[in-house]
């Protein structure tokens, strides 16, 4: 991708995946089909109450999935991504702006969605930072991206990309959830999906953000940001 260019870009674009680019929570679809919604929500609640780490939540939920990969693909066949996301990829390619996905999700599930919706050129341009999924028969396990309590410290991945350049680029970050709060703090330009947890958190904490409904708006704003930087 363009990130290997020696010249520093004016900015980089980093985006969350689940709920931000994808329109459904793929994790919930698969865990609910396996262990049932009630059990999954009980694990979610243990995390919300601070009894287990986010890393532990993911171990418990993903190890509870008992589907073959073929069954998972079938369950996710109607799960789609924002139809305007491809436009953002094209804009970044045309303007040589690095584009990364930072996700607490699993690589194979992200790839599955992108392969349905993006061209090979668009796919190859993006850099994806996520956890890895290993499926053996109907047993699922995760290889975490790092040793953090989160399983994947998304803010650290954003910093790693920004630190590649001689002149630090501005950071555009796009997200939707509570797990995006740390990444949002690394951002110079923050987009939060309107009405969801990240947007609400920003409102409550007086953090400046640009609420968005879809990626058509993001493309328009990237054009404007590019013009002033």
Cα dihedral value 224, 227, 228, 229, nearest 10: 110
Angle between helices 26-35 and 37-48 in degrees, nearest 10 = 120
Q: Does 18 bind Mg ion (CB under 5 A)?
A: yes
**What number of CA atoms fall less than 13 Å from residue 134's CA on the CB side?**
6
Stretch that binds Mg ion, among 31-39, 117-125, 170-178, 219-227 (CB under 5 A): 170-178
**Residue 38: DSSP 8-state:** H
171 or 184: CB nearest Mg ion: 184
Over the window 175 to 194, marking each residue x when it contacts Mg ion by CB under 5 A and - when it does not, the resulting string is -xx-----------------
Residue nearest to Mg ion (CB): 19
Q: Which helix (H) or strand (E) holds 41?
A: helix 37-48
Q: Does 32 bind Mg ion (CB under 5 A)?
A: no
Q: Using CB under 5 A, which of 9, 13, 14, 19 touches Mg ion?
A: 19
Degrees to nearest 5, angle at CA 127 with 125 and 132: 135
Count CB atoms within 10 A of the CB of residue 22. 24
**Does 16 participate in catalysis according to the annotation?**
yes
Degrees to nearest 5, angle at CA 79 with 217 and 75: 170
Q: Does 105 bind Mg ion (CB under 5 A)?
A: no
Q: Does 16 bind Mg ion (CB under 5 A)?
A: yes
Stretch that binds Mg ion, among 94-102, 168-176, 185-193, 215-223 (CB under 5 A): 168-176
Stretch that binds Mg ion, among 2-10, 33-41, 140-148, 172-180 (CB under 5 A): 172-180
**Does 18 participate in catalysis according to the annotation?**
yes
16 or 82: CB nearest Mg ion: 16
Q: Does 82 bind Mg ion (CB under 5 A)?
A: no
Q: How do beta strands 139-143 and 127-136 pair?
A: antiparallel
**Residue 24: DSSP 8-state:** S
Kindly list the catalytic residues. Answer: 16, 18
Binding site for Mg ion (CB under 5 A): 16, 18-19, 176-177
């Amino acid at each position: 991708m363009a990130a290997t260019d020696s010249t520093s870009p004016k900015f980089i674009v980093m985006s969350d995946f689940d709920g931000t680019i994808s329109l459904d929570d793929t994790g919930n679809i698969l865990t609910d089909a396996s262990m049932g919604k009630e059990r999954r929500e009980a694990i979610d609640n243990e995390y919300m109450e601070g009894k287990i780490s986010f890393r532990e939540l993911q171990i418990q939920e993903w190890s509870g999935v008992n589907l073959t990969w073929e069954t998972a693909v079938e369950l996710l066949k109607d799960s789609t991504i924002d139809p305007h996301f491809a436009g953002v990829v094209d804009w970044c390619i045309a303007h040589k702006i690095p584009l990364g996905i930072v996700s607490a999700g699993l690589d194979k599930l992200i790839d599955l969605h992108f392969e349905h919706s993006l061209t090979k050129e668009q796919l190859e341009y993006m850099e994806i930072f996520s956890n890895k999924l290993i499926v053996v028969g109907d047993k699922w396990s995760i290889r975490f991206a790092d040793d953090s309590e989160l399983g994947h410290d998304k803010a650290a991945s954003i910093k790693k990309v920004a630190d590649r350049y001689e002149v630090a680029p501005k950071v555009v970050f796009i997200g939707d959830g509570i797990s995006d709060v740390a990444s949002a703090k690394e951002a110079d330009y923050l987009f939060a999906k309107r009405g969801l947890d990240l947007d609400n958190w920003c409102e409550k904490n007086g953090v400046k953000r640009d609420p968005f409904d879809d990626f058509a708006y993001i493309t328009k704003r990237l054009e404007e940001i590019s013009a002033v930087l």
